[in-house]
Chains A and B, each alone.
Chain A
Amino acid sequence: MRSISRRGWQRERRDDLPLSEILHVLWGRRLLIVGIVVLLVLLALLFGLFRGPEYTAEATVSVEPRDRSINGEERVGFMEEVQGAVVTQAWLRGVMRRAGWEGDPREFKDRLDFETVPQGDKTGLRVRFSGTGPEQAVRAANAYAELFVARVEKLNDDRLAGGALAADAVVESRAVSPEGSSLRLLLYAVAAAAAGVLAGGAGALLLEGRARSWRDARDAELTLRAPVLGVIPDYSSVGEED
């Protein structure tokens, strides 16, 4: 070029997408984004409603081996051995009776969930029970924890495995009434809305890249990051050319 110097906008970095352009694109396709958000929220609420109400109660039992030489990772293995010794079919039927469970024993087992958690010198067993009602969930989790402790004491008395699995067990925390399903539905809705914003935003940016329609001069300026010197309206008096 001859005499005209390059202007400031021509020297700007162009390889990154500025926030202003992203916001412009998202605003331009707000209906798409809102539509996706609404759809996902509705699907999440329907899923939550059809899945039925579910309450999860949690109790924790701490188990401390009487053999002080057991420490570190050995405690996890010890905990598993104790659990293996405690949990038998007959014992589980006792838990179901105490919990007032009258349904299928397999379903009861499916609703139980365990996790071994370290608790300082002790090892904890976190018991979760998902029930259709809050009281049922609390009863089952507490029944499991209480009978677990009782069974460990019984095994201590019986000197299980020659006393190698002797342990002191206490109910560290009892299950309390769990959060209601309305909160769960709300969480589903919030998660779906967030997913909808992300999916809608990504879709809007994708569509914008492939779009052939320019809304106005501002759209062109933000897309091309160059000044728009003129906007010529669509007029039909001049035919196709080029």
Chain B
Amino acid sequence: MLDPGSPVRRHYEDLAKNLLSIGEGVKSVVVTSPEPGAGCTSVCLGLGAALAGMGSRAAVVDCNLGNPQLHRMLGEPNFVGLTSSLRGDRTLEHYGHEIVPGLLVVPAGPVPSDPALLETRRFVEVVRGLEAGRDAVILDAPVAGSVLRSSSLSSSFDGVLLVVHASRTPKSVARATTDDLLDAEINLLGVVLNGSSGVRL
């Protein structure tokens, strides 16, 4: 999906265009799913690559401290990343690297024993710092239940993108999650249907 010639790229470009068309204010997006296995990380990477391919400066940050996936998907180590920045005083840019021109990826970093790191003020500050130098910051978040419990993920950024998988996510669970997000006054930007067999590559 990082390859501009990939047949799946145009679908991510459509997603990026739709996201950008929502409004100028959408800069930081929390990407979550009702259950694990919906493909949040691949959607984050695909969306980031599409934005970068369209000329935007994008960043993907792995915020799933309980089960980080970004580095695994890229086949890279997870020695430093978001948690390193939260514990230190350096910016997220310092712990990330560009995998394609215009797309910065920041892995989760060493998994902390205390996952409440995301609830600190520092977390919002480092993401804000990243936003200052980027057109879009995509936060690869844990499942929606964790996002709902996290005051920073649920209320500190511009909106939430919900990923449902076409063959793995139960409809009833997805519906309940959508209702929960809206009941919690979270700005749900929209839904991404991942793994659809009804769309041709």
Contacts and interface: CB of A to CB of B under 8 A. Distances in A.
A223 B178 CA distance: 10
Given A14-B182, A238-B42, A231 B171 contact: no
Given A10-B182, A209-B172, A210-B170, A1 B195 contact: no
Contacts, number: 157
Interface residues of B, number: 66
Contact of B166 (A3, A214, A238, A242): A214
A4 B169 contact: no
A17 B33 CA distance: 23
Interface string B23-54: 10110000001001111111100110000000
A233 B11 contact: yes
Given A214-B164, A238-B1, A230 B158 contact: no
Interface in A70-111: none
Contacts of A3: 25, 158
B191 A229 contact: yes
Nearest to A11: B182
B116 interface: no
Interface stretch (B66-74, B81-89, B93-101, B106-114): B66-74
Interface string A189-207: 0000000000000000000
Nearest to B160: A1
Given A211-B171, A226-B178, A226-B188, A242 B15 contact: no
Contacts of B90: none
B19 interface: yes
Contacts of A216: 193, 196, 198-199
Interface centre among B41, B46, B166, B182 (most CB of A within 10 A): B166
A214 B171 contact: yes
A157 interface: no
Nearest to B38: A242
Interface of B is mostly: mixed
Contacts of A220: 164, 191, 193
Contact of A232 (B36, B39, B159, B169): B39
A217 B72 contact: no
A227 B33 contact: no
Nearest to A15: B179
Interface in B154-192: 155-159, 161-162, 164, 166-172, 174-175, 178-179, 182, 185-192
Contact of B195 (A14, A211, A225, A232): A232
A10 B187 CA distance: 8
A229 B171 contact: no
A224 interface: yes
A227 to B, nearest CB: 4
Contact of A2 (B157, B185, B186): B157
A6 interface: yes
B183 to A, nearest CB: 9
Interface centre among B46, B159, B170, B190 (most CB of A within 10 A): B190
A213 interface: yes
Given A6-B187, A229-B15, A233-B199, 19 more contacts: A1-B159, A3-B158, A10-B182, A209-B171, A214-B169, A216-B198, A226-B162, A226-B188, A229-B189, A229-B190, A230-B43, A231-B198, A232-B8, A233-B197, A234-B167, A238-B1, A240-B37, A242-B39, A242-B41
